[in-house]
């Protein structure tokens, strides 16, 4: 099966006819359809599928003790692009087809992984599936997570412990680039040097609900003001420090037009080029949030929800699989970062994104570049299976 036909199979799954973006949240219908597709593709290649208690999938080719893993994730952010995640999985199946065509037979086990809830778009924790599989997040912590509708993760899946990644000796994840580094290098494919430290913090602002007309401006305790100033402060602070800070999700209670809100919850996504700089950035934003809350007569509580340290990918593995490719750092999180942090030699391949836009319906990669990615991945895997 060609890359193009595999890609065409996935194109309509979870696609909004209004925005053209994808809604592939874990354990909802589109993502379940993608899982069924994954199993069909594995069966078509006689790969044995293993699913762990968290819903992570691996399709295994060949036998042997020390395994090589490739793959990515099937879920998307809310109204996301087509490529972030699925490109790595489609390319993995297409690379296996190429290897078979070339007469390569695996001397080690090769697995195609689909990690669940990589984006954290449903339960709020980035790379939840790979963190659970590797054990850096415990099931006791994760089972109490709830989605926006109040569904508890523990009521959705069985949970427990996973041995899915036991014996994995190397991981190579192919991903669409989420910036314009490869455009600048004029190269269709590159490799990643590492991932910036990053995380998510929840800011709970509380005030006092009141009448929007009869309450004098000076008599209010309006948490929306405290939040609004914090969003501006985050942007300013990140610009000054040349780091990244984003408030992309906000919940307002009671969310009525003619009432001063009683509470605002907002999530900060912050990223920086060192762990010290990340702490400084979040501390500075939180300090300003606290000062403003005092002036507004409101209160703010800050809770870290998921924090990932700096990741440096394996230089030997990267040099072996991508000797002539540009090597770039990234500010985006990946399951590859979780596996690398757990000590599994890990590398990433990036496919050029002509606009750099990602986490958006506008995310793109050309077919020619995707095919170059499949070739690079097949070469990488062939080298590792030798
Ligand atoms: C994952 O895509 C992230 O960096 O948020
Ligand atoms: Mn993403
Ligand atoms: Mn991704």
Q: Is the pLDDT of residue 217 over 90?
A: yes
Q: Which of 117, 118, 119 to mutate to test the pocket of ligand 1 (most atoms within 8 A of CB)?
A: 119
The reported pLDDT for the residue numbered 64 is: 84
The reported pLDDT for the residue numbered 105 is: 87
The reported pLDDT for the residue numbered 88 is: 98
| Average pLDDT over every residue of 136-147 | 97
The reported pLDDT for the residue numbered 179 is: 97
Report how far ligand 2's centroid is from the alpha carbon of 78 (Å). 10
Q: Tell me how far apart the alpha carbons of residues 386 and 380 are, in angstroms, rounded to a whole number.
A: 10
The reported pLDDT for the residue numbered 338 is: 98
221 and 292 Cβ atoms separated by less than 8 Å = no
Q: Is the pLDDT of residue 86 over 90?
A: yes
Q: What percent of the chain has a predicted confidence (pLDDT) above 70?
A: 100
Q: How confident is the model at residue 65 (pLDDT cuts 50, 70, 90)?
A: confident
Does 126 sit in the ligand 1 pocket, CB within 6 Å?
yes
Q: How confident is the model at residue 106 (pLDDT cuts 50, 70, 90)?
A: confident
Beta strands in 94-243 (DSSP E): 110-115, 168-176, 189-195, 198-206, 210-211
- Indicate the burial class of 225 (C-beta count within 10 angstroms; 0-12, 13-18, 19 or more): buried
Report how far ligand 3's centroid is from the alpha carbon of 263 (Å). 32
Does 197 sit in the ligand 1 pocket, CB within 6 Å?
no
Q: Which atom of ligand 1 is nearest to the CA of 127?
A: 1
Report which DSSP code applies to 47.
Answer: P
Q: How confident is the model at residue 266 (pLDDT cuts 50, 70, 90)?
A: very high
Tokens representing 211 are 């009448």
The reported pLDDT for the residue numbered 239 is: 98
Does 80 sit in the ligand 1 pocket, CB within 6 Å?
no
């Amino acid at each position: 099966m060609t890359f193009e036909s595999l890609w065409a199979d996935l194109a309509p799954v979870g696609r909004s006819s209004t925005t053209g973006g994808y809604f592939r949240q874990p354990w909802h219908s589109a993502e379940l359809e993608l899982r069924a597709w994954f199993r069909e593709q594995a069966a078509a290649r006689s790969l044995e599928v293993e699913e762990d208690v968290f819903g992570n999938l691996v399709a295994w080719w060949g036998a042997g003790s020390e395994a090589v893993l490739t793959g990515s994730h099937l879920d998307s952010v809310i109204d996301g692009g087509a490529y972030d995640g699925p490109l790595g999985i489609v390319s993995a199946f297409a690379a296996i087809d190429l290897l078979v065509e070339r007469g390569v037979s695996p001397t080690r086990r090769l697995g195609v992984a689909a990690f669940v809830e990589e984006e954290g778009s449903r339960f709020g924790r980035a790379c939840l599936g790979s963190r659970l599989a590797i054990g850096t997040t415990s099931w006791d912590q994760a089972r109490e997570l709830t989605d926006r509708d109040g569904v508890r993760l523990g009521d959705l899946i069985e949970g427990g412990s996973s041995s899915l990644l036991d014996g994995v000796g190397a991981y190579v994840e192919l991903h669409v680039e989420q910036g314009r580094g490869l455009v600048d290098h004029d190269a269709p494919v590159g490799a990643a040097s590492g991932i910036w430290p990053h995380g998510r913090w929840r800011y709970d602002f509380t005030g006092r609900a009141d009448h929007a007309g009869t309450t004098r401006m000076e008599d209010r305790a309006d948490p929306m003001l405290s939040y609004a100033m914090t969003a501006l402060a985050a942007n300013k602070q990140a610009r000054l420090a040349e780091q990244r800070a984003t408030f992309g999700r906000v919940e307002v209670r009671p969310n009525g037009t003619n009432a001063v809100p009683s509470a605002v919850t907002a999530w900060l996504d912050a990223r920086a080029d060192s762990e010290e700089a990340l702490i400084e950035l979040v501390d500075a934003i939180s300090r300003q949030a606290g000062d403003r809350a005092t002036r507004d007569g409101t209160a703010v509580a800050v809770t870290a929800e998921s924090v990932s340290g700096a990741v440096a990918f394996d230089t030997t593995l990267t040099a072996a699989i991508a000797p002539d490719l540009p090597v770039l750092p990234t500010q985006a999180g990946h399951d590859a970062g979780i596996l690398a942090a757990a000590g599994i030699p890990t590398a990433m391949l990036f496919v050029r994104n002509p606009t750099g836009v990602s986490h958006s319906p506008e995310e793109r990669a050309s077919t020619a570049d995707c095919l170059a990615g499949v070739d690079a991945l097949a070469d990488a895997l062939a080298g590792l299976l030798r």
